[in-house]
Chains A and B, each alone.
Chain A
Amino acid sequence: DAGVTQSPTHLIKTRGQQVTLRCSPKSGHDTVSWYQQALGQGPQFIFQYYEEEERQRGNFPDRFSGHQFPNYSSELNVNALLLGDSALYLCASSSYRDGANVLTFGAGSRLTVL
């Protein structure tokens, strides 16, 4: 049973560029949440998708956008990258029926912005 898979695992971008990160949820999960974890900090909630719609959003600017596909996979897009966007981006999946309490995290995509 595959867990949450994320790609790419590492990437380097320069300021002003755009990036797309991808996530496939655990089998049987239909809800995807994205978190940003800066070095030395806990994960911070970006947004959550269910039924292909953004259901909740954290305190992140509009440069951060996302999408969920019919197969429940999801993408996180970040435009106009800033140095401060360097972080580990974690995708977490869950089942709507279970709420968001039982999260399974992927290994993350580590983004470095130069």
Chain B
Amino acid sequence: RKEVEQDPGPFNVPEGATVAFNCTYSNSASQSFFWYRQDCRKEPKLLMSVYSSGNEDGRFTAQLNRASQYISLLIRDSKLSDSATYLCVVNIARGSTLGRLYFGRGTQLTVWP
């Protein structure tokens, strides 16, 4: 079983739409959670961290449910520039501060005009 499971999509939505991505993780010892964004043929870049209390950054809202081992990302008022692959990421630090990141396979989003 993979550490992080994501629906690969693709999601195709019009500008202005609200879209939600979900992922699940298998290791209950996971410590930190993130969403990364990856544009076509580019490197992943941190979009936002995810906290148990939920957190928001402009049009982006991330939620974490530790009991269900479930992470979500909500994008409101989608823009053309939001078109990218969104990677769900967890850090399982096993007794060391040098944790390693586990990436989901990513969910592809295309926003059309």
Contact = CB atoms under 8 A, between A and B. Distances in A.
A42 B93 contact: no
Interface in B1-42: 4, 6, 8, 32, 34, 42
Interface stretch (B61-69, B72-80, B100-108): B100-108
Interface string A13-49: 0000000000000000001010100001111110010
A108 B45 CA distance: 12
Contacts, number: 63
Given A48-B98, A50-B98, A90-B44, A42 B104 contact: yes
The range of chain B's interface size is 20 to 34
Contacts of A103: 46, 101
B96 interface: yes
B100 A56 contact: yes
Most buried by B among A31, A105, A106: A105
A42 B99 contact: no
Nearest to A98: B97
B43 A100 contact: no
Contacts of B97: 96, 99-100
Contact of B99 (A100, A105, A106): A100
The range of chain A's interface size is 20 to 34
A58 to B, nearest CB: 7
Contact of A106 (B43, B96, B100): B43
Contact of B93 (A35, A44, A45, A99): A99
A21 to B, nearest CB: 14
Interface of B: 4, 6, 8, 32, 34, 42-46, 49, 87, 91, 93, 96-106
Which 8 pairs across A and B sit closest by C-beta, in order of nearness? A42-B103, A105-B43, A99-B97, A100-B99, A42-B105, A43-B103, A45-B100, A41-B105
